């Protein structure tokens, strides 16, 4: 089970995490989890470039090690990257020391102060360690999840959700994961065209 729109109680339960970024400029913040790879990452970059839109990619360290050129390409295009652990760990099921070591291992490739917990699952003790570290991580969650990872959800439904719920300040989650490439390749061009038509500015998270 997952929420398309992040419920208010989640924001109250984790008030120090970033759920949205209100702004008066009609900016929205499209993010991609789980990258990088040799096939879907270039496709996403090409589609974003058509509108000069910028996004934030939360990268899995083992993928960065495998495909370093794609990490370079993301940064060269003016996009932002964040840490998504080295092995896509579930924080609720992972010892804090192992979780922290996994994050640090990814930092070798990402060198960022942005972090997103895989599955959105993170302990309060892990939050404290991230936020009080020398890096002083910003832990970025989301306000809108289209469900591109859900095998029961069609690409048409994902696109409808994005169009219906995107608004200024939204942090939106899609996935740069080849397992869901058929969804992304069916919705991204249409969604970006919609954003351009509506006057949204797609920006990085800083």
Q: What local confidence, expressed as pLDDT, does residue 1 receive?
A: 76
Catalytic site residue from 79, 84, 155, 175: 175
The stretches in the chain having pLDDT less than 50 are none
Q: Which residue has the tokens 């919705």?
A: 187
Catalytic site residue from 33, 34, 176, 203: 33
pLDDT tens-digit profile of 58-92? 999 999 999 999 999 999 999 999 999 999 999 99
The CATH number of 8-202 is 3.20.20.370
Quick check: is 175 catalytic?
yes
Q: What local confidence, expressed as pLDDT, does residue 90 receive?
A: 98
Quick check: is 33 catalytic?
yes
Sequence spans of domains, the chain: 8-202
Q: What local confidence, expressed as pLDDT, does residue 36 receive?
A: 98
Whole-number Å distance between alpha carbons of 205 and 79: 9
């Amino acid at each position: 089970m997952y929420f398309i729109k992040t419920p208010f109680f989640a924001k109250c339960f984790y008030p120090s995490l970033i759920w949205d970024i209100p702004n008066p400029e009609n900016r929205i913040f499209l993010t991609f989890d789980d990258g990088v790879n040799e096939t879907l990452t270039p496709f996403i970059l090409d589609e974003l470039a058509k509108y000069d839109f910028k996004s934030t990619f939360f990268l899995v360290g083992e993928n960065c090690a495998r495909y370093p050129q794609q990490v370079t390409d993301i940064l060269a295009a003016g996009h932002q990257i964040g840490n998504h652990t080295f092995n896509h760990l579930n924080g609720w099921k992972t010892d804090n020391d192992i979780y922290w070591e996994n994050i640090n291992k990814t930092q070798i490739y990402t060198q960022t102060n942005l972090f997103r917990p895989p599955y959105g699952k993170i302990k309060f003790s892990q939050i404290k360690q991230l936020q009080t570290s020398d890096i002083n991580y910003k832990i970025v969650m989301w306000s809108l999840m289209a469900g591109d990872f859900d095998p029961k959800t069609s690409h048409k439904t994902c696109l409808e959700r994005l169009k219906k719920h995107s608004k200024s300040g939204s942090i939106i989650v899609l996935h740069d994961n080849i397992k869901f490439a058929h969804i992304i390749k069916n919705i991204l061009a249409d969604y970006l065209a919609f954003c351009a038509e509506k006057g949204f500015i797609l920006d990085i998270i800083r």
